[in-house]
Structure 1
Amino acid sequence: MEEIKNKVAESGLVNFDISDLVPKGKRLGIDIKDFLWEGQILREKDFREKIKNLDPELYKDAYVYIYCSEDVIIPLWAYFLITSKITDETKKIVFGNREDLEVLLMHNSIQTYDFSELRDKRVLVKGCSDELIPNNAYVELVEQLKPIVKSLMFGEACSNVPIFKN
């Protein structure tokens, strides 16, 4: 009987799962609408009082995005006040929606990751993930890998899409 060989393992192909770069931790949004008078108008005195009563512990070790779900004008100092109230407790705060937060977090992860272990390797970037991976992360990943890897593929070992070969 002939021995069963794992051709993928023997190929020297390195699997890279981009979801490993997703920072772990809870994500929380702060809707400025909740701090407005009748959900429409920012009255400084009322706004400051609501910020004063905001419990920073709710955001401990969280990644926070600040947004406004209503189409109203918010002065920039309002974002300053919220950020200054909770910044000592959070891991990161951004202005924007959840997707904006994920784009920034992945950008930071990709820019700080040490890809040297992939130098001159044949790399397969895993195609499916249970994590929310912004499309921009894949763009940035290729940008980082192209100068150092021997070849890059996307998908699964049994059905990958060749991207480039050096």
Structure 2
Amino acid sequence: MSEEFEIRNKIAESGFVNFDLSTLIPKGIRKGIDLKDFLFQEMILKEKDFREKVDAIDAEEYKDAYIYIYNSVDTIVPLWAYFVLTAKLTDVAKKIVFGDREDLEVILMHNAVQTYDFEDMRGKRVLVKGCSDKEIPENAYIELVEQLKPMVKSLMFGEACSNVPIVKN
């Protein structure tokens, strides 16, 4: 085949470092605990009853899980109740947060982005993958830009064939 008809992969030759933020999503089971299940008539926190229900939890069911504690009923729960529940599970769970599943994912991705070593991207042209089959909190993209902007030659978002320039240093 002559050189004028040679097929070249211009994307591979571009020198982009492709980065898929979904690779930072921590793997593991997510479990929610609704405080209403620990309340008397799902409305009132009685300390003795609450402590008995917390003591009855099989902590092994939460081993290596990411746990989010939430309250689906409109009732006031004293802060110490979260302490008691967290103390029961903190030795077995990977992470415990207050909030819904979305709050948990934001915190997990925050931790992942803040602790990831981006040094191999220093001075390079980085393309952050735009499409993912996994849900990624928007805040993770913001934090990623904060981490990469000072160190990369350029930062783009999207796909190699169609990307949006974000930063050029």
Counterpart among 27, 30, 44 of residue 27 in structure 1 = 30
Residue 103 of structure 2 corresponds to residue 100 of structure 1: yes
Counterpart among 8, 23, 26 of residue 11 in structure 2 = 8
Q: When the two structures are superposed, what TM-score results if normalisation uses the length of structure 2?
A: 0.96
Counterpart among 146, 151, 154 of residue 151 in structure 1 = 154
Query: Deviations 1:55-97 (Å, cap 9, x if unpaired)?
Result: 1011000000101011110001110111011111100001111
State how 1:50-69 maps to structure 2 within 5 Å: 50-69=53-72
Q: What does residue 76 of structure 1 align with?
A: 79
Structure 1 letter corresponding to 2:126: V
Give the C-alpha shift of residue 131 in structure 1.
Answer: 1.7
Residue 137 of structure 1 aligns to a residue whose secondary structure is: helix
Q: What does residue 110 of structure 1 align with?
A: 113
Structure 1 letter corresponding to 2:8: K
CA distance in 2, matches of 1:107, 1:132: 14
Give the C-alpha shift of residue 130 in structure 1.
Answer: 1.7
CA distance in 2, matches of 1:116, 1:52: 45
Structure 2 letter corresponding to 1:95: F
CA distance in 2, matches of 1:81, 1:130: 37
- Unaligned ranges ≥5, structure 2: none
Give the C-alpha shift of residue 4 in structure 1.
Answer: 1.1
Q: What does residue 164 of structure 2 align with?
A: 161
Count of aligned pairs between the two proteins: 166
Give the C-alpha shift of residue 143 in structure 1.
Answer: 0.2
Q: When the two structures are superposed, what TM-score results if normalisation uses the length of structure 1?
A: 0.98
Give the C-alpha shift of residue 132 in structure 1.
Answer: 1.9
CA distance in 2, matches of 1:39, 1:152: 50
RMSD: 0.8
CA distance in 2, matches of 1:112, 1:45: 40
Q: What does residue 18 of structure 1 align with?
A: 21
CA distance in 2, matches of 1:93, 1:131: 21
CA distance in 2, matches of 1:34, 1:130: 33
Give the C-alpha shift of residue 155 in structure 1.
Answer: 0.6
Q: What does residue 90 of structure 1 align with?
A: 93
CA distance in 2, matches of 1:110, 1:3: 41
